[in-house]
Amino acid sequence: MDAKRSEVQQWLESIYGSASAVPCYEKSSASINLLHQLMTVSKEADKQAQILNQDYLIRADEYTAKSEQIASAMRCVGLSISSLTDDARCALTELSQAATVVNAAVPSESQIMLGSVQLESQHDEICRQASESDELRSQLSTLSQQLATKIQHAKMLKNQVEVALELEKKDEENDERRALFHEKKLMEYEKDISEGEALLKHRGYTGSITHDSVVQQWQELQQLQKQVTTLRSQLESYSLPPDVSAVRLEVERCRQHLASLVADMAQQQTQGFT
């Protein structure tokens, strides 16, 4: 197959003049075989034409020599073309033309008939070769059209792949930007958490300070406030003069306890929210 491809390439270069002038063609096995057949037929036709041309040149030389010989003989006996009648000259011209057409060296009836048969045979052979050449040319045209269609389809696929790659590249760039953004935010959150933990540790925050414990202490504070209110109501309802010192001590004790609870709760809320 490589030898055929090389022969076809050289043949096309000899036809178009140079390798750069050769048009693009499909280099599949079927195309190379078809082009090789066309090359073989073309070279054979060129060879036959060259042989026929050489034969015509040889016959022309022979006819020229014979015509000079006949003319010399006619001059010796005193005859010339002008001495013949019109009918004789016409018949002689037609006979000469017929002999020339059928390549007959002797213009006899049998030679002319034989030459006519050979000429018809050559004509049939040339027609057959022309038909084969037309068929090969038609196949070559079909292959060229198929190749053009495949090239167009390949270009379309190439464009689609380029568009898909461009979109994929943009998606990758967007994903990379999002990943960098998330990584940056994660670092900021980790920094904020570290700073917040350090601040809580500095202010004495412990794991025991939770929302549930704060709610529980708030409920206890509410109960103490209710108890204080109840005690005040009871003190106001007494008809006997109370022991002022004992009452003052009890009220002061409750006030201090309440103030202590309020201060603890405020400190825990401040530490929890900061």
Asked whether residue 199 is domain-assigned, the answer is no
Q: Which domain holds residue 44?
A: 2-150
In this prediction the pTM is 0.31
Residues 125 and 234 placed together within one structural domain of the fold: no
At 48 the pLDDT is 87
* Domain-ending residue, one of 150, 179, 200: 150
At 141 the pLDDT is 84
State the maximum Cα–Cα separation within the chain, in Å, rounded to a whole number. 196
Residues 137 and 19 placed together within one structural domain of the fold: yes
At 17 the pLDDT is 80
d(CA 39, CA 52): 20
Name the domain count of the chain: 2
d(CA 180, CA 175): 9
Asked whether residue 168 is domain-assigned, the answer is no
Tokens of 254: 């409750």
Q: What is the mean pLDDT of each run of 10 residues along the chain (274 residues)?
A: 81 81 80 85 86 85 75 66 66 65 57 65 82 85 86 89 89 89 88 80 64 76 81 66 68 77 68 53
d(CA 12, CA 19): 8
